[in-house]
A = this chain, B = another copy of it.
Amino acid sequence: MADVWEGWERRAKPPTLFRRFTFERYAQTREFLDALAAAGNACGLHPQNINFGTTYVNVTLEAADSSRLSPAEEAFARQIAALAQAQAGTGR
On A, residues with C-beta under 8 Å from B are: 26, 30, 33, 37, 46-54
Contact = CB atoms under 8 A, between A and B. Distances in A.
- Residue of A30, A37, A53 ringed by the most chain B CB atoms within 10 A: A53
Contacts of A51: 49-52
Given A30-B37, A37-B30, A50 B52 contact: yes
A52 B46 CA distance: 11
A50 B37 CA distance: 15
A37 B54 CA distance: 11
A37 B37 CA distance: 13
Nearest to A27: B41
B49 A26 contact: no
Contacts of A30: 37
A55 to B, nearest CB: 10
